[in-house]
Structure 1
């Protein structure tokens, strides 16, 4: 048995940088460095663990990472490849600029069908958008079952089984393959790429596709095809200088007064 695992990953602005909107109210990717979304690292990790388990059982497994994004999104793919993924697919097209989650789900679904799959693994959300609905949209477009927000999972006998932890209960989920799943940041720490893995990643194949390759019209994606739109944005005000209290014996009282006036206590 050969298991084809596809992991959807996203190239996002570094959350520690000064993120802002561009003039067209899309994310300004030139203003801050980008990287592989941290939450997607958990998805890559779980895909690698499943593949390793398959191989230990004498079966074959292949992990493919897929992303939709600008040229620099290759950096996110290389990170996943250095962790241990086997190959990558990068969908890049100028007409994708401004695509929302609906358009992204369409492009990813077409790319996944192009690649071939038995199991699609996603992170619980992206660290820039944070909507968390992409796995459900993918499952709908691919017409396969979904099992989302899993903190524990396994694959055996053509099924994926997992645990979803809620505030008041824990659920056990199971789905027949092919299926789409998403994993949380409680599913297991992602491994650090080794030097050997980083060097090996440079030789692993990265296939580049555009909209024409996937049979998608430009009008279906981008700002014109978006179902959601940012109508306005206000830049966060600059941080002002705080008040410095010199403790001359009354510092505690002055601090308590300061907090009380602002209703913090």
Structure 2
């Protein structure tokens, strides 16, 4: 069984994000970039399926500028077998990403497609659902457990009220949540081996997909600074502050 995993290049989660002076977007100059954390979980799950003998091949795909190959090589070092890079300098929004991934799915014919539930930059939580709809596949989102048995995949989903398990016929789309697994670290020997693994480069035009943005950003602003909290000596003082200072009572 072939597993396809999509990964995204984002600002490292340890970096404090800066807004451009003209408020047109986020400043990416000299900023450390990394693989989206939810995508790391997706790669880990695919590699574990391969180690169990369920998957025979793990293919990783990323969409974006040439620098995205760094994240693809990281995924190859973590255990993926080969990479596909859809190279473009255009801003790729959720629907465009889903259309490009659909074209890759039609080309590769994987039985299982795994994505992170969302990226930590745009935070949209859309691409997996859009891809499933475009392909006509069943979807299991916010997965905290994945079990593949025969031509079915059971996905335990995290919801507000607890957990729910869905059974999907393969091929299917799964999006990963935080508690699905803990990603491994790439060893130095595997990093060296990843340099020799195949990486195919193509363009959106090769896939016949339209990637022009459909949504325009009007303005980007950092969140307002929060004032420091205070300690109160009594309930009466707390009520007084809530009533006269915060004016929430």
**When the two structures are superposed, what TM-score results if normalisation uses the length of structure 1?**
0.80
**Offset of 1:66 from its aligned partner?**
0.5
2:141 to 125, 148, 156: 148
**Offset of 1:176 from its aligned partner?**
0.7
| Equivalent residue runs for 1:109-188 within 5 Å | 109-188=102-181
For residues 211-239 of structure 1, what are the alpha-carbon distances to aligned partners after superposition, in whole Å with 9 as ceiling and x for unaligned? 221123xxx31xxx323221112356899
State the alpha-carbon separation in 1 of the partners of residues 220 and 132 from structure 2.
32
Q: CA 1:168–1:91 in structure 2 vs 1: closer, same or farther (change >3 Å)?
A: same
After superposition, the CA RMSD in angstroms is 2.9
State the alpha-carbon separation in 2 of the partners of residues 235 and 178 from structure 1.
41
1:228 to 215, 228, 241: 215
Greater displacement, 231-240 / 163-172: 231-240
State the alpha-carbon separation in 2 of the partners of residues 229 and 92 from structure 1.
21
Q: Is the 8 A contact 2:25 2:220 kept in 1?
A: no
| Count of equivalent residues | 242
State the alpha-carbon separation in 1 of the partners of residues 19 and 65 from structure 2.
16
For residues 18-44 of structure 1, what are the alpha-carbon distances to aligned partners after superposition, in whole Å with 9 as ceiling and x for unaligned? 434566935443341211011111111
For residues 28-68 of structure 1, what are the alpha-carbon distances to aligned partners after superposition, in whole Å with 9 as ceiling and x for unaligned? 4334121101111111111111111126xxxx610011110
Counterpart of 2:60 in structure 1 is 65
**When the two structures are superposed, what TM-score results if normalisation uses the length of structure 2?**
0.85
Question: What are structure 1's unaligned runs of at least 5 residues?
Answer: 243-250
State the alpha-carbon separation in 2 of the partners of residues 252 and 170 from structure 1.
40
Counterpart of 1:49 in structure 2 is 48
Counterpart of 1:17 in structure 2 is 15
Q: CA 1:262–1:33 in structure 2 vs 1: closer, same or farther (change >3 Å)?
A: farther
State the alpha-carbon separation in 2 of the partners of residues 228 and 185 from structure 1.
28
State the alpha-carbon separation in 2 of the partners of residues 164 and 152 from structure 1.
7
What is the DSSP-based 3-state SS (H/G/I as helix, E as strand, rest coil) of the residue aligned with 1:151?
A: strand
